[in-house]
Structure 1
């Protein structure tokens, strides 16, 4: 396939990708659906007449939820039509006036949260991350909790504080216990952290309460993937998480990338699922591959200089997205299009592949050098964290764009 829209080999958005996002421009502030292609955005409101009438309302919506709700057969049809629109010699290619109107430069666009997120669940599915955290706080002999290899551990997060890439994140206030056994104190978080994650959006019609999604049917429920930074206040988290788990240390903001990468674009990069021992219960077993070779990087930018502090890979996840869906719904929990489910921190087995400052600094015992000449154990005010993700082989590169946010200083608490 060759598009008339240029996309060099280094581009995240060739015609084989075609991710969805929501954008606006200064000239047209309406939020609308776009598809990334090279350095441009195909405005679907402008070309919606190229699609069957049954999709017109969906493609002119201001969020992706209506498209997500249609199901995988509709997603495939819309994607194939979009490809044909962008091919050399297409009707759009030959219509100069329409082409100029339909293609918007990314540099002129403002990206928005792509979905009305109803519910958000965060899992804890990287065995290397879970092991590292366990060793730090419980020792090698008790690194993994007894349940960890039997089910995908997770918690329900705060959907209202999920924000799109580029949104600043303010250092939070909270209660902490500076020294074990001492009385708590109240003040700004001192141990502010990023968490490298990948999340996916649920699609298809809503399910009914009491009806689980079988693991073999879960592929029909994955609309697409985004990068995620699950910002974390580690000192607040340590004091508050017993006995019910994460709370205010996690609800201060969660950043996602603006472009939703469809499963179809990731098909060439499927790899074997992570080996599981012991074998999970039958409701969690699936033979089909649903793991992906997504290369992940995290930069910290300070004083105008970026330093890559982590290189990891999505393939390090022990539990697949299909297992996460199956376990999430095994009790009969209902799903809605636009629900967001995240991987948890994705760490590899090498020290430079750890997906959080907690691990990279090994609970603050090591300093991470930055190219600016500074060092870090945790994030400081003014730091910008930039997460990137991409798949690449000899033929194509499928990129996620970036997921970024700047840490703002805590404001005075009145």
Structure 2
């Protein structure tokens, strides 16, 4: 639970770099405009902590608070202060305005303020190091940038690694984190575990920005993942160090905040799997340490427990394979070894359909396998994946109840003679 001294510490930290803002916030704390929530509001707050700013409840991510101290409180205070200043600015213009209509402008002012504050902090740290001039210049330029996220897909140096879909075929991009004002503002508003604006900028300062990946849907960051090298005596593993997805919060009011895109977690892990197989063959395994609340998801996509909290990614399960297939279809530089491994996985999954599903979990896994097989048979699918699926279906169709339906749909959706031939009985 947040205490009053935590808020005071956050205000003092802000005052070090922005004395005027710190002074105003301290005054607001003194007269009760910044305060702790009532006991009943605290109980109703769910998993996150909170404080009150000028009558508004401000959420503080519990995980961020435990891992970074007062940083998320500082972030919340600065966002609300920036909003307050913008509201006063609009009121001082002497013409009436609707808070609802002006919400985006007001909220963006708060988000921009916290990003500029953190960028200045990062620049301060860099000034003490030699050879950081270009990085400082990059950060200074970011303070003048607009608020629309552009991945620059057509550029030769595009950060996008893989393209796929989430949530009923919405286009999604697995990309290195696009370091800019728009992306940092989105991070500030997402308020998810592990990934504060300060953490993101810390990756840049430490030269670790290439370890930070994002899932972007319709110019919105909806998930983040941070990778690290885990060395052991005789091997190197690729570790998923931090992992978080958007949970209903967004700074664009045109998005349905009550329902974030589904499938983002599987999409991010699929991107890591392809990155591992296609660009990092020297790593032995993909591993992670999981908090209790996320273990169901990791088990569902194919991680197996190792030790008390360790997990290692084995054979992709559930909708992870479908996400891998979707990305692989659009990848221009997929190595032959990766293509063959994915094709082998498809054959293996089709063979598993010959066994009857047991229990609710088995039924869900079967549905995921069927969805993956259908992904292989979509128009424009890689021929290697289509052939693997069709040959296995033809071989086992007498033992797979859904085989005829899948093969018929594939035949109707394709004029490819290979597809029609594959529906013939297997001998």
Q: Give the TM-score taking structure 1 as reference length.
A: 0.26
Question: Which one has a larger percent helix, Structure 1 or Structure 2?
Answer: 2
Question: Which one has a larger percent strand, Structure 1 or Structure 2?
Answer: 1
Q: Give the TM-score taking structure 2 as reference length.
A: 0.25
| Structure with bigger RCO (C-alpha 8 Å, 6+ apart) | 1
Task: Specify the structure having the higher radius of gyration (Cα).
Answer: 2
